[in-house]
Amino acid sequence: MEITPETVRWIFIDLFVLLISIALHEFGHAIMADKLGDDTPRRQGRVTLNPLAHADPIGTFLLPLVGGLHGAAGGRGGGFGWGKPVQWNPARINRKWKMGTAQILVAIAGPGMNFLLALVVATVHTVLVAKGVLHPGSDLNKVFGFTVITNFVLMFFNLLPIPPLDGGHVAQQMVPYRHRSKFDEVARFGPFIVLAFALIPQLAQVFVVPAKWCTSHLYSLLASLVM
């Protein structure tokens, strides 16, 4: 398949959407840790909506770009990436919070921000279409739709109960302490399991299917409210 200038344009649009989505995800972790009393993310400049503060050169730019080009050329690719992990110190949180509770709150704050962005964009998108401001076949219409499903994909992917994903941190805190060592043993293989879910299409359906379901039903709900 030939890669045209139009294809390249859309690859960079998708890359921009991914950058914003990943940045908001990492900002969620940073702002939650900051609100709980740990100033580490603030001192490192992570309590900001500036996307570049959260971008990883390989995970946010290079890999999604290469994946997009590969996908446009007829292969599989596009959309997979990560941001710069937010560093925080559970020992520095306000003592009114239990350490385990704080770790869960910081972990789910990232996916929570992706859900919030998907909700806001879908709402704005639906209203603009309902008011006739946005034509269903326009480029901006496609960008809105891609943004919504991208954030649902990021949300469900990161909620997989596999370390080092956010869901893995939550799962670790939910495991009874007497079984924690066994969980940690399995967690050593976490990065390889995560790669398998990200790169094998059949496994990816675990988070892609619910992302598509949420996107479809959210738009249906919003349409019933504003149409």
Per residue in 51-104, pLDDT (tens digit) is: 999 999 998 998 888 888 877 766 554 556 889 999 999 999 998 999 999 999
> Tell me, what's the pLDDT at 19?
95
- Indicate the number of domains in the chain: 1
User: CA-CA distance, 199 to 194, in Å (whole number)?
Assistant: 9
> Tell me, what's the pLDDT at 190?
93
User: CA-CA distance, 126 to 193, in Å (whole number)?
Assistant: 37
The per-residue pLDDT for range 141-170, each reduced to its tens digit, is 999 999 999 999 999 999 999 999 999 999
CB atoms within 10 A of CB 96: 7
The total number of residues written for the chain in this structure: 227
Only one residue has tokens 């967690």, namely: 187
Q: Average pLDDT, whole number, for the chain?
A: 91
> Tell me, what's the pLDDT at 2?
67
Q: What average pLDDT score do residues 174-189 get?
A: 87
Q: Is 212 exposed, middle or buried (0-12, 13-18, 19+ CB in 10 A)?
A: middle
> Tell me, what's the pLDDT at 74?
61
User: CA-CA distance, 94 to 77, in Å (whole number)?
Assistant: 43
Which among 66, 48, 44 has a CA at the least distance from the CA of 57? 66
Which among 117, 55, 40, 142 has a CA at the least distance from the CA of 65? 55
Query: CA separation (Å) from 155 to 24, 84, 98, 107, 111?
Result: 11, 16, 25, 11, 4
Q: What percent of the chain has pLDDT over 70?
A: 96
Which among 150, 166, 125, 161 has a CA at the least distance from the CA of 212? 150
Q: Quick one: pLDDT band at residue 1, thresholds 50, 70, 90? A: low
Asked if residue 71 lies in contact with residue 78, where contact means CB atoms within 8 angstroms, the answer is yes
> Tell me, what's the pLDDT at 182?
87
Q: What average pLDDT score do residues 217-221 get?
A: 97
User: CA-CA distance, 212 to 205, in Å (whole number)?
Assistant: 10
Q: What average pLDDT score do residues 208-217 get?
A: 98
**Could you tell me which residues are beta bridge partners of residue 227?**
none
Q: Which residues contact 183 (CB under 8 A, 6 or more apart)?
A: 171, 172, 175
The per-residue pLDDT for range 186-204, each reduced to its tens digit, is 889 999 999 999 889 999 9
**Type and span of the H or E element at 91:** none
Only one residue has tokens 């702002």, namely: 31
Give me the domain span that covers residue 93: 5-226
> Tell me, what's the pLDDT at 18?
94
> Tell me, what's the pLDDT at 81?
80
